[in-house]
Structure 1
Amino acid sequence: MATTARRAPAKRPAIPQLSWRSPQPAPLVLVSGPEDVCAERATAAIRDYLKAEDPSLEVTDVRADDYAAGTLLSVTSPSLFGEPRLVRVTGVEKCSDAFLNEALAYLEAPQEGATVVLRHTGASVRGKKLLDAVRAGTGGGVEVPCPAVKRDSDRFDFAAGEFSTAKRRIAPVALRTLVSAFADDLTELAAACQQLIADVPGDITEQIVERYYGGRVETSAFTVADTAIAGRYGDALVALRHALASGADPVPLVAAIASKLRTMARVAGQREPAAALAARLGMKDWQVDRARRDLSGWSDATLGMAIQAAARADADVKGASRDPVFALERLVTVIATKAPFGG
């Protein structure tokens, strides 16, 4: 009897995996992944933690791609007065051979009182031998993963975490408006959250977000999608033209509209409570609630027509048509009027 080969389970790192919001120092700290905002926060938190323990902390920055032999051992070695040392190493994904060899040797005998933070973006496999050694537990390290934040729900969680960490309250609608306004740039979203936290003394409302970032909100892809889905044809065309005039790329505009339509299709006809449905579909409660509100006035036929129009527009803005602006206007027309274009 033939047997089916079983795939070996993925090997888990032997070292602790820590949240970038609450990292802890260790002799070796591997900050991995492409999201620089999260990586910078993690590194800053480690510095602040060590600084609070001992204000005499010595901080040194080292570039792994422009590395002078002997630097790592020099900056981690105890000084005359024995101050703690923090060494922040960037560019490990493009490290030189000299750094790689010395870092591997350092793992075998880390210096007492030194914390070495290795930043690897994952942009290449360069330094993999070093990463494997750290993850195997050599050197007594920990890892702080900083995976890419791509989905709308991930950005929502990121922004919610900014306010939660600061012990500040923001209205759910205000939070969603803020995330929609900075859907394409996590760095700008993080800066916007911190500005509101610093400037606004009380709870943060939708009106406050619109006062600060109304221009961004008005031209966001999700504003175009929301107004079209709500049947506000004139407002949707105005929002679309504002977005294009401000330099918005047609491709993510279509993607945002298509994403909302797909979410509506997944929720349509489902009678479960929002929390149960969200858990089953891998969504957030607020996404289910919003999709159900968006479905008002829609039928299976009109929703299917809109999804087909979005698929056509997606192909058009990616090269199938010479006029991506017309493709977008046609899509908005179909969605807002719930009728075939020109019908």
Structure 2
Amino acid sequence: MLAPSLFGGHRLVVVTGVQESAAALADSLVSYTKEPDPELTLVVVHNGGKRNDALLKAFKAAGAAVDECPKISSAGERVAFVRNEVRFAGGKITPDAVTALLEAVGNDLRGLSAAASQLVSDFGGVIDADAVARFHRGQAEVTGFTVAERVLVGDMAGSVEMLRWALDRGVAHVLVADALADGVRTAARVASLNTTNIGELARQLKLPPWKVKKAQAQARGWSIDGLQQAIGVVAELNADVKGAAASADYALERAVRRIVGIRAASAGGRARALR
């Protein structure tokens, strides 16, 4: 690390996992802080804990810049992460676009960061859900959750179209079935509580507010009896896509049509408490 470069110029050295480094390496790094090379930028990555904590203290004492990177695990933290990444890239993002991006990319922070930067570069200004859909054409539009959204709002044509598109794109049967089950059960949980306050529902159900708001919208037009029937359908579907049915494709489309039909029949029906 201390040897001069054959090509000259400034060098960047990144040492990861220093919390696990042997004593000899830790000592060498501490020694380096006393006589740093002006032609070299050294980055050390410590993943937390007390081990080799003295190494961090030595770098801090030497005036090293410190970037704290707390673990991101909750849904709210991921939403904040996306917003911050877009802001750092020079743009703004709408709440529905944040939701769409998380559904399209998932929880991978590197992927979210790259997507946020690219969205700002491609679209600039304010990023909305339409921009995310266009950017992730073939991803955001063919997830199991997209199918579930169409089913829960009673869109028969859209549900079947999205399902066939998802299957054609290779989305696993079990992922579509799981998304349907999650959507139906979340809508039922939201509808069964005697409050419409998003904050209160989020607290009681231990769900992020954006998911509660989405479930509230999807639960409109459903009766409690209808949601109970739909829960039975998704439970049956779970077994079908895991081998009980001769054709998982047929089982999925049949379940989609049944759930949309149940919603149509139950719309306007008197809601009764879940037993």
TM-score w.r.t. length of structure 2: 0.71
What's the counterpart of residue 228 of structure 2? 304
Q: Partners in 2 of 1:312 and 1:159 — Cα distance?
A: 36
Q: Partners in 1 of 2:49 and 2:78 — Cα distance?
A: 28
- Determine what percentage of the aligned residue pairs are the same residue: 33
CA RMSD of aligned residues (A): 3.6
Q: Partners in 1 of 2:112 and 2:97 — Cα distance?
A: 13
Query: Relative to structure 1, is the Cα distance of residues 301 and 196 closer, same or farther in structure 2, using a 3 angstrom cutoff?
Result: same
Deviation at 1:221, TM superposition (A): 1.9
The 5-angstrom pairing of residues 2-17 of structure 1 reads none
Say whether 1:332 aligns with 2:248: no
Query: Relative to structure 1, is the Cα distance of residues 116 and 208 closer, same or farther in structure 2, using a 3 angstrom cutoff?
Result: closer
Deviation at 1:300, TM superposition (A): 1.9
Contact kept? 2:13, 2:43, Cα under 8 Å? yes
What's the counterpart of residue 61 of structure 2? none
- AA in 1 matched with 2:236: R
Q: Which moved more, 1:285-294 or 1:107-116?
A: 107-116
Find 1:111's aligned residue among 20, 30, 33. Answer: 33
Query: Relative to structure 1, is the Cα distance of residues 164 and 116 closer, same or farther in structure 2, using a 3 angstrom cutoff?
Result: closer
Deviation at 1:245, TM superposition (A): 0.6
Deviation at 1:234, TM superposition (A): 2.0
Structure 1: runs of 5+ lacking an equivalent = 1-74, 121-129
What's the counterpart of residue 162 of structure 2? 239
Deviation at 1:296, TM superposition (A): 0.9
Contact kept? 1:254, 1:310, Cα under 8 Å? yes
Q: Partners in 1 of 2:46 and 2:55 — Cα distance?
A: 16
Q: Partners in 2 of 1:241 and 1:219 — Cα distance?
A: 9
Q: Partners in 2 of 1:109 and 1:249 — Cα distance?
A: 53
C-alpha deviations, 1:100-151, integer Å up to 9, x for none? 353354477563347442376xxxxxxxxx96513xx22235763445x6x7
Contact kept? 2:94, 2:128, Cα under 8 Å? yes
Query: Relative to structure 1, is the Cα distance of residues 330 and 155 closer, same or farther in structure 2, using a 3 angstrom cutoff?
Result: farther
C-alpha deviations, 1:262-317, integer Å up to 9, x for none? 32233223315212332443333222221111111212222122223223323333
Query: Relative to structure 1, is the Cα distance of residues 255 and 165 closer, same or farther in structure 2, using a 3 angstrom cutoff?
Result: farther
Find 1:204's aligned residue among 127, 143, 151. Answer: 127
- Higher RCO (CA < 8 A, seq sep 6+): 1
3-state SS of 2:167 partner: helix
C-alpha deviations, 1:186-218, integer Å up to 9, x for none? 554433322211122322233333333344333
Q: Which moved more, 1:222-231 or 1:327-336?
A: 327-336
Contact kept? 1:153, 1:283, Cα under 8 Å? no
What's the counterpart of residue 87 of structure 1? 13
Contact kept? 1:258, 1:307, Cα under 8 Å? yes
Contact kept? 2:156, 2:257, Cα under 8 Å? yes
Find 2:216's aligned residue among 292, 296, 317. Answer: 292
C-alpha deviations, 1:52-71, integer Å up to 9, x for none? xxxxxxxxxxxxxxxxxxxx
Q: Partners in 1 of 2:229 and 2:2 — Cα distance?
A: 64
Q: Partners in 2 of 1:256 and 1:335 — Cα distance?
A: 13
Query: Relative to structure 1, is the Cα distance of residues 156 and 217 closer, same or farther in structure 2, using a 3 angstrom cutoff?
Result: same
Say whether 1:258 aligns with 2:258: no
TM-score w.r.t. length of structure 1: 0.59
Q: Partners in 1 of 2:33 and 2:55 — Cα distance?
A: 10
Q: Partners in 1 of 2:220 and 2:86 — Cα distance?
A: 32
- AA in 2 matched with 1:200: F
Query: Relative to structure 1, is the Cα distance of residues 281 and 115 closer, same or farther in structure 2, using a 3 angstrom cutoff?
Result: farther
Deviation at 1:77, TM superposition (A): 8.6
- AA in 2 matched with 1:102: A
Q: Which moved more, 1:229-238 or 1:246-255?
A: 246-255
Q: Partners in 1 of 2:91 and 2:249 — Cα distance?
A: 41
Say whether 1:139 aligns with 2:61: no
Question: Which structure shows the higher helix fraction?
Answer: 2
Contact kept? 1:76, 1:111, Cα under 8 Å? no
Query: Relative to structure 1, is the Cα distance of residues 218 and 85 closer, same or farther in structure 2, using a 3 angstrom cutoff?
Result: closer
Query: Relative to structure 1, is the Cα distance of residues 187 and 140 closer, same or farther in structure 2, using a 3 angstrom cutoff?
Result: closer
Query: Relative to structure 1, is the Cα distance of residues 145 and 327 closer, same or farther in structure 2, using a 3 angstrom cutoff?
Result: farther
Q: Partners in 2 of 1:89 and 1:318 — Cα distance?
A: 45
